[in-house]
Structure 1
Amino acid sequence: MIETVAAEARGVADDLSPAEVLSAIRDRKAAEDRAAADQLVLAARWADLHPPESIHTAASFTVPGSQHEEPIAGEGAPLVAEFCVAELGTTLGITSTAAKKLIGHALELRHRLPRLWEQVHAGAVPAWRARAIADTTIHSTPPLTAEAAGFVDAQVAAVAGRVGSAQLDRLVAETIGRYDLATADPAADPEDGYLHVDPRHVTVDTDDVHYAGTLRIEAEVDIADALDLDRALAHHAATQAALGSLLPLDARRAKALGDLARTQTALDLAGAGGDADEPDLPVARAVVIHAHVDASFSGDTTVFGPTGRMENGQRLVLLEQIQSWCADSRTEVTIKPVIDLNTTLTAQTRKVPATIREQVILRDRTCVFPFCSRPARRCDIDHIIPWDDDAHAEGRPQPGPTTTSNLACLCRFHHRLKTHSPWRYEMTTPGVFAWTSPHGHRYRRDHTGTTDLEPLVRGESPAPPGIPRPRRR
């Protein structure tokens, strides 16, 4: 009875025939596609309402490994104010980066891929497929001019967006060659001008720790390098088996990759002969494991619980796994003291000491901005109430002391957002933060996630006193 009432409350009857179920779910999918298309229109409108003051205040993507930044959409699309993406993201319950991508895709489609944009709103191409195409044209290297993007648009629209990633890459590569875009780079080989963005990369997803204590590695390398690596892994896996390893082949290959990362010293083959004159090899692995394990005392002995929690990914980890990670030869193990999160720590300087920083990181775990998931160890430590450099000289109490109750982890973007925009927050209880957006919407953030305290209603809500509305064109 309870299940029936719940189903009917969601507008779904429990007596539908198979044909009616298929018809209903097709209608829901069509409605979902229409809503996604409308969301792109609204994201573009949000961008129109928030032009930047200058190119230096425009939203952009930072290119990993360099100081270079690229716009959120290609040449010919309007720029967008950097900090406006955060409020759109919190409204949608997504990260600021995801909101930036949504706005960029909307502008790319509307201004540089107009045929595809029209097909999305005609229902011929789903929004997710159009966004994937827009993402490729935005981040092409070398960048696509407006004319080149128009060529891609015409080709893709001709097949109603039904292209796979490989086909799209080939199309973009052809476009780069057709419009001689690569020759603009003096370091480029003219004969290789048809090549698309260099696909080589090695990505280690440190934020997603599997329950088994593993991380995913994805790579794309040169053919010769890939074949060499394959042979090296096969050789090391066979060596492990010859030395008595009972692990399955895939596990031995994975372990071999770690051995290669430590310059092959984990097998300690150099010292197998026992040569006293052989120089000591450097430490190959420095293990800094941020794992939290319950412990108790039995007399003078510390007794650890069998399980703990990995800081990255918030996943379960076994004590035996930690012991095995630290057991390989030439491994330097660093043990850091336990910090009591219930103790208030205070310093007399603006600079946050290492002990207080560690305490705040352990308490917050991630950036504390709504829906942000950037690990706390890659964040700044922010004074919630700003430190006043003149307070001591003027004989006034310090309004923003360096104390646990006035500090929080913010990633660099959201730290700048808090400093240079109307976003405001306070710590209501240790580790619990109340945020207020420029349009007065409130969010609660703690270690369990984000709660919208004022779900948005239809229509335009009034701006809080003292907070100007976005400029309109």
Structure 2
Amino acid sequence: MGGDGTPEVADLALVEMAIARHEHVLATRGALADAFDLRHRLPAVWEGVKSGRCEVWVVRRVARMSRALDRHQVALVDTAVASALDQSPSRILAIAEAKVIEADPTAHQTRIDKNQNDKGAWYPKPRPGSQADDNDAVNTAGIGTVFARLDEADALAHQHTVDDLAAALAEHADVPEGAEPLSMEHWRAEAFAMLADPAAVLAFLHGIDDTPGTSEVEEVAQQPSRDPRRSAEIVVHVALDDTGALGPVARVESLGPRLLTQVSDLLGRHTTITVQPVIDLHTGRSVNGYEHPTDIKQRTRLRTVGDVFPHATGLFAKHGRTPDHDHTTPYDKHGPPGQTGDHNDTPLARHHHRAKTHVPGYTVMQLGPDKWIWGTPHGLYRLVTGGGTTAITRAEYLLHAQDAIVLAEGYAA
């Protein structure tokens, strides 16, 4: 029932067990397969679950995700997930996903190839009675539904086109005085529907660009802004393996773990590609002013990925929100030079920034460019790194505090 390395079970033995569990035998079979995988294939994760470090449903999903791996490959998943059990469920599953892909990139490529053959678009008809039933989960009166499975790059391009067209429609919409403007969800639906008539889209875009007094030369000059081959920025996090070569898996911001071949596919539709210099996150810089420079903010964002408040799950790239770059050690205009830099930058979402600033009892110290220790008003202590949050004791907090960076002349630019 479980993956490679789990013991065999007499199939009919599960029938009475299912009766005792008040469920169908297939549900019992699934639960037992997950338990066997955890006990025999993911022993480090299993020990963490028994000590209460993680909810059971999360590790059951990890067991199912990794079931196709053999007993040697799954060890990579076991080690990584066990060290992350104190994180939020979304972080645990993201780590598990990346390690499953890394453990067997060939199998993942097979999944990708299979999905390319399963693409399609579907326009389901409403069920009889659903248009008049207000108790239906989704009343379908006057509404159609579309489902599509596309190549990932095509789906992203389609999304950007719909978003751009929706923004233009919303900007040029006639809103009656005193009426509430329609939501962007409404305009995205209008834009999606409008794509069924490309001529109408071109006429609309031409109309909003055709302002009085515009010459033909100026009009032509405006057209590149509507060029479908728009520019795109892809931020890719890569790491070296033990041999010094690039590993098979990279993390693409806003998308997640991807094979390196998938990263190249994302750029396939662009005729001009500019590769920016690699940002080495092991380097640092400091300045003498109060404001964090753009390059320092970028390195901090890339190191941390998101909010570094304990157990925060906000990813700045995914949600498009700019973090507050708070000085871990408060800035002192009469203090030493070099107070602003990678060593003194705590990116926080606004709500968490307000809590740290206005609620007495919160403490934070920075141990390096990607490591912080927090204390709360009621004596909870947490270590936060780029990999997430770990609960620590007061004694561990005090021990870490000795390593906290003290601003000194050595940090001057």
TM-score bin (small chain): 0.3 to 0.5
TM score, norm. by length of structure 2: 0.43
Q: Comparing both structures, which one devotes a greater share of its residues to strand? A: 1
TM score, norm. by length of structure 1: 0.38
